[in-house]
A and B are shown apart, each in its own frame.
Chain A
Amino acid sequence: MAKMIKLVSGDGAEFEVEEEVAFQSKIIKDIVADADDVIPLPTVSSKVLIQVIEYCRKHAAVNSFPLSPSSSAAAAASSSSSISYSKPVSDPALRAWDNEFVKLNNSSLFDIVIAANYLDIEELVDLVLETVADRIKGKQAQEIRRQFNIENDFTPEEEEALRRENSWAFQNN
C-alpha cells in the first residue's frame, strides 16, 4: 500500500493522497522529511487544492516513468539521423491533458498559480503562466484589459499618445 499523506485545505477539508502525488510539491516533500504526515495548507481552499491534486496525480504517474515509450523512440530516431535534430521531448498525450486542464477562467487560473507557487510545483506554475501568456498574444490593449479586468488608468491624452507610439503593435505588418 502506497504511503499516504494527508493535506488539509484552508477551509478544513482533508485530502489523503499518495506520497508520490504529494511530492510533486517540493514544499510538501521537504515537510514530510521532517516526519510530518498531516500538512495543513491554510492558504489553499478546497476547490483549488482539489485541482492541484488532480494535476499532481496526473504528472506523478508520468514522472515515475522518465522514458516513456514515445519519448525513447524519438530520442533514438534523432541520434541516428544527422539531418533531423533532437528537440525537447514532450509526451503529446500529457500535453493535451495539460491543455484541457487549463481551460479555466482567469481567476481560477490565478488561484491555482498562487497555490502552485506556495507549494513549489514549478511545472504547474509554468503551465498556468504559459496559458496566461497565450491569452495575451495577438491582443490589443483594450482586449487585454477586458480579458484580465485591468483598469485603464491613463488619461485620455496619455492614451492618445500611447496609441500613436504603439500603433505598430497592432498594424498588420
Chain B
Amino acid sequence: MEWDSESEGSNGDEEEGFLLSGGSGGPFSFAVEGVLGPASSCGLVVSDALEPDHPIIYVNRGFEESTGYRAEEVLGRNCRFLQCRGPFAQRRHPLVDATIVSEIRRCLEEGIEFLGDLLNFRKDGSPLMNRLQLTPIYGDDETITHFIGIQFFTDTNVELGPLLSSAVKESARPNRLITEHVFRPVSLGHTHICREFCSMLQLSDEVLCQKIFSRLCPRDIASVGSVCKRLYQLTKNEDIWKMVCQNAWGSETTRALETVPGAKRLGWGRLARELTTLEAAAWRELTVGGAVEPSRCNFSACAVGNRVVLFGGEGVNMQPMNDTFVLDLNSSNPEWRHVKVTSAPPGRWGHTLSSLNGSSLVVFGGCGTQGLLNDVFILDLDAQSPAWREISGLAPPMPRSWHSSCTVDDTKLVVSGGCADSGVLLSDTHLLDVTMEKPIWREIPASWTPPSRLGHSLSVYDGRKILMFGGLAKSGPLRLRSSDVFTMDLSEDEPCWRCITGSGMPGAGNPAGIGPPPRLDHVAVSLPGGRILIFGGSVAGLHSASQLYLLDPTEETPTWRVLNVPGSPPQFAWGHSTCVVGGTRAIVLGGQTGEEWMLSELHELSLISAIDPQPKRCCRNQDNQQHKPTLPEQCCGGELGQRKNCSLLGFGGATPSDLLLQIDVFSVEETKHKRDKQKG
C-alpha cells in the first residue's frame, strides 16, 4: 500500500504529515503537526492491518523520543511490547489494565475506533501513561488496511513500591524481578503533563515518610506541608508528627509528653508547634489540697511523670528535714500526701533532687545537722514499700550544698560547683552512673573550668550536653551574681567547658543580645529541641524575676530572646523550688516572702494549651463568664481555611510575624483585670 506524502493544512513538515487516499471516502488527511501539538510528547504509529499480528510500519519522532525505542527497533513488531517493562521482559506487566487490552482487541476486531488510557513503559522501564486513540483506515474495497495510533504520553505519579520489599528479595531471574515491583498508577485521566517531572513525588508515601520526613525537624515538616496537596495530606498524619517529635526531642521526652493529660487532645502536630513557638505559654495559678507540714523552705522538688515529689528542706527553727511528700497532678483533686518510707536519708536543705529513669529519684549533698553532706540516696516511688536506699559510690565529691545537678541518659547523675564546708566555692564537676554494680564517682577533668559558684543551674539538652547558667560566682575577691552560660558535651572523648555568653563588665556589649540579668537560685527549664528557658531567682538590681528568657545553645550564635507570656507569675523571692512536670509545665512551689509555706497555692508556667477540666485551676472570673480565652478550648486542628479562635489570637492577637517578641497588650490588660478581681 502506498500513500502520498503530500500533506494538507500542515506546515509542510513531511515527516509529520501525510495524506492517505482512502477509497470512496475521498482523501483523508492528517495535519499532524497542528492537531497533535508539540511532537515531543505524542506519538504516531501506523500498523499494517493486513499482515498477521499488525506489525508496525511507521513511527514518528515523537514516539521515539517518548518511549526511548528507535524506529528500527520496533518496525515489524506489534505495539504490545510497550506493555512490557523494558526490552527484556517477556510478558505484559501485571499492572497494565487487562480490561483495556481486551477492549483494544475488541475494537480492532470490529474495526471501530478506540479511545482510552493504557499503562506503557519506556525502554528504560520507567512507566508512561498512554492516552491512545486507535483509528482504522479503509482501503479501496472497504476492508481495513491500516490502523493509526495516536498516543499522548504523560509521565505518571506511579510509585516505586516499598523499599526492600520481601518480594524482591526472592532469588529470581532478572526478568521476573521486574514484574515483582509494585506500581500504583494514579487514576486514569491524570493530566500531569510536565516535561521536567518532579522526581521526589515519584517516591512512595512510605519512602517519603520513613526515609525523608523522619530526618526533618518539626519546622521543616510544617514547611513541607505547605508545598503541595499530596505533601500536605502526608504531613497531616499524627504518626509522622510523633515520629518527627521523637527524633527531634528524644524518646524520653516524647514518652513523658504522652502522659500529659492535654497532650493527646492536642495531637503531636499541635504539640510540636506549641513547643517550638511557645505561643500558648501562660502563667496559671493552681490550688491544691493537703499541706506540707511542718512548713519549710529550701527544699527540693522533682517530678516523676505527673507527680511532684518534695524532699527535705529547712524548717522553722533551721532544722534540716527529711520527710517526703508527693503531689499527684493527675488526680482530679491534687493534694499533698506524706510518703511513708521505710527509711529516710538524714535531713538536709540546699541539696539537689533529680529524676532517674522509671519512677526513681536521687538526692545528693546538702547541709545536714552534722554539716555538709556528699551522700547519695535513691527512692523508687512506685516500689511496693518505697524506701530511700543509700548508694555508696567510691571517691565521692567533696561535701557541699547549693550545688547544681542534672541527670544524663536518665542514669548518670552529674553534680557541679556549690559551697564547701569552709565556705569555699567549688567549680568541679562529677559524674556517677547509678546503674553500675559498684558505682564509682568520676571527676570530669577539664583543663579550664568556669569560675566557682553556687546557686547556679545545670540543664541537659541535645542528648548529652549540659548547660550551666548563672549563680553566685567568684570574681576575684568578690562574689557576684552571674549571667554566664557555659556548656559541655559529655559525649566527647575529652569534654571541656565552653563559654557561650557572659555578663561581661557592666555596659559591655554582649554578642548574645540582651540576656537575663545576673541571678542565682533561678529556674532553668529544658525545652524539647534543646532550648533553655530561664526565669526567677534572686536577681541583681530592680529587674523583675518573672521575665522569661530563652536561649538555644544549638544555634550557630546562640542569642537570648525574651518570651512574653500572659497570666500572673509568682512573686519570686527566695526559698522556692521549681520542678518541670511532663516537659510541658514548670510548677513553682513557695516563692512568697516568707508566708505561704503550706504550698497550697502554686504557680504554674504552662507551655502548651491545656484543656483543664477543673474550674478551680483556671483563671476565670467569679460568674464564670468567658472573657478572652486564656485556655483556648476552641482551638482546633482545623481543616485548611477553617482556623478559628486559635490560641494564636487568644494570646494578645499575635500576628504570625511577631509570635515571640510581641509587646503583649492583651496580657497586660488581663493581668490587670485579675489583680482588680483579687482586690475586689
Partners in one complex: yes
Q: Which residues of chain A have a CB within 8 Å of any CB of chain B? A: 10-11, 26-27, 30-31, 33-34, 36, 39-45, 77-78, 81-85, 87, 106-107, 109-110, 113-114, 117-118, 120, 122, 125-126, 129-130, 132-134, 136-141, 144-145, 148-154, 157-159, 161-171, 173
**Are the CB atoms of A162 and B490 closer together than 8 Å?**
no
With the chains together, A158 CA to B226 CA distance in Å?
10
Give 17 pairs: A residue, B residue, CB < 8 Å, sorted on A.
A31-B171, A42-B125, A42-B178, A85-B491, A130-B211, A133-B212, A148-B201, A149-B194, A150-B200, A150-B201, A152-B227, A158-B641, A161-B643, A164-B643, A171-B656, A171-B657, A173-B276
Is B224 an interface position by the 8 A CB rule?
A: yes
Chain B contacts for A114, CB-based, 8 A: 160, 202
Further pairs besides A82-B440, A152-B227, A168-B219: 6, Cβ < 8 Å:
A82-B442, A130-B215, A137-B220, A149-B196, A162-B226, A173-B277
Chain A residues, CB < 8 A from B640: 158, 161-162, 165
Q: In the complex the two chains form, is B492's CB within 8 Å of A84's CB?
A: yes
Q: Report yes or no: B216 in contact with A133, Cβ–Cβ below 8 A.
A: yes
Q: Kindly identify which residue among B169, B229, B642 contacts A153, using a CB–CB cutoff of 8 Å.
A: B229
* B 644-655 binary contact with A (CB < 8 Å = 1; else 0): 000000000000
The answer, among A10, A78, A157, for a CB contact under 8 Å with B86, is A10
Are the C-beta atoms of A141 and B223 separated by less than 8 Å? Answer: yes
Interface residues of B in 158-206 (CB under 8 A from A): 160, 163-164, 168-175, 177-178, 181, 192, 194, 196-203
Residues of B within 8 A of A82 (CB): 431, 433, 440, 442
Interface residues on B, range: 35 or more
Tell me the dominant secondary structure on chain A's binding face. Answer: helix
Query: CB-nearest residue of chain B relative to A168?
Result: B277
Taking A42-B89, A43-B85, A170-B223 as contacts, is the C-beta distance between A83 and B228 under 8 angstroms?
no
Q: Given the interface contacts A27-B168, A31-B171, A153-B229, does A169 sit within 8 Å of B88 by beta carbon?
A: no
Complex contact A45–B177 (CB within 8 A): no
Flag whether B585 is at the interface (Cβ < 8 A). no
What is the CB-to-nearest-CB distance from A109 to chain B, in angstroms, rounded to a whole number? 8
B672 to chain A, nearest CB (A): 28
Let me know if A173 and B168 touch, CB within 8 A: no
Residue of A nearest to B277 (CB): A168
B202 and A110 within 8 A (CB): yes
The yes or no answer to B55 lying at the interface (CB within 8 A) is no
Whether the Cβ atoms of A141 and B227 lie closer than 8 Å is: yes
Give bound CA distance, A169 to B174, whole Å: 46
- Which residues of B pack against A, CB within 8 Å? 85-89, 123-126, 160, 163-164, 168-175, 177-178, 181, 192, 194, 196-203, 207, 211-213, 215-217, 219-229, 231-232, 273, 276-277, 279, 409, 431, 433, 440, 442, 444, 464, 490-495, 531, 550, 552, 561, 638, 640-643, 656-657, 659-660
4 A-B pairs with least C-beta separation: A43-B125, A169-B222, A167-B656, A110-B199
Question: If the complex has contacts A30-B169, A45-B124, A149-B197, are A85 and B164 also in contact, measured as CB distance less than 8 A?
Answer: no
Contact count A vs B, C-beta below 8 Å:
209
- How many Å lie between the Cα of A132 and that of B210 in the bound state? 13
CA gap between A153 and B232 in the complex, in Å: 11
Centre residue among A77, A83, A125, A149 by max chain B CB count within 10 A: A83
Given A120-B164, A168-B222: A41 touches B201 (CB 8 Å cut-off): no
Smallest distance from the beta carbon of A151 to chain B beta carbons, Å? 6
Selected contact of B178 from candidates A43, A122, A151, A166, CB within 8 Å: A43
B contacts with A: majority SS: loop
Roughly how many angstroms separate A162 CA and B641 CA in the complex, as a whole number?
Answer: 7
Contact between B219 and A169, CB atoms less than 8 A apart: yes
User: Are A87 and B491 in contact, with the CB atoms below 8 A?
Assistant: yes
For A118, list chain B residues within 8 Å (CB): 168, 177, 181
| A residues near B85, Cβ cutoff 8 Å | 42-43
Residues of A contacting B277 in the complex (Cβ-Cβ under 8 angstroms): 168, 171, 173
Q: Write out the residue numbers on chain A whose beta carbons fall within 8 Å of the beta carbon of B86.
A: 10, 42-43
Smallest Cβ-Cβ distance to A82: which chain B residue = B442
Distance in angstroms between the alpha carbons of A30 and B123 in the assembled complex: 25
Q: Do A166 and B163 form a contact, CB below 8 Å, given A42-B178, A133-B212, A136-B212?
A: no
- Cα separation A138 to B204 with both chains bound (whole Å): 23
> Given contacts A136-B212, A163-B226, A164-B643, is CB(A31)–CB(B172) below 8 Å?
yes
Are B124 and A10 in contact, with the CB atoms below 8 A? yes
Query: B227, A122: Cβ atoms under 8 Å?
Result: no
Residues of B within 8 A of A125 (CB): 163, 211
> Which residues of chain A are within 8 angstroms of B433 by Cβ–Cβ distance?
82
In contact, A166 and B223 (Cβ under 8 angstroms) = yes
**B438 → A minimal CB distance (Å):** 12
Q: Are B494 and A84 in contact (CB under 8 A)?
A: yes
Q: Give CA–CA (A41, B85) in the complex, Å.
A: 11
Tell me the bound Cα distance from A130 to B216 in angstroms. Answer: 10
Shortest B286–chain A CB gap in Å is: 28
A169 and B495 in contact (CB under 8 A), knowing A10-B86, A150-B201? no
When the two chains form their complex, are residues B174 and A42 in contact, meaning their CB atoms are under 8 A apart? yes
| Cβ distance B315 to chain A, nearest Cβ, rounded Å | 38
In the complex, the chain B residue whose C-beta lies closest to that of A36 is B173
Known: A10-B123, A151-B194, A154-B229. A77 touches B219 (CB 8 A): no
Contact call A168/B200, Cβ cutoff below 8 A = no
CB distance from B562 to the nearest CB of A (A): 12
What residues of B have a CB within 8 angstroms of the CB of A33 in the complex?
171
**Most chain A CB atoms below 10 A, which of B124, B217, B224, B494:** B124
Tell me the complex Cα distance, A145–B196, Å.
13
The contact of B656 among A129, A168, A173, by CB within 8 Å, is A168
Distance of A40 Cα from B207 Cα, bound (Å): 26
Please state if B124 and A145 are interface contacts (CB–CB under 8 Å). no
Within 8 Å CB of B279, what residues of A? Answer: 168
**Cα(A125)–Cα(B86), bound, Å:** 23
Neighbour of A144 across the interface among B160, B223, B638, B656, CB < 8 A: B223
Contact assessment for A122 and B164 in the assembled complex, using a CB-CB cutoff below 8 Å: yes
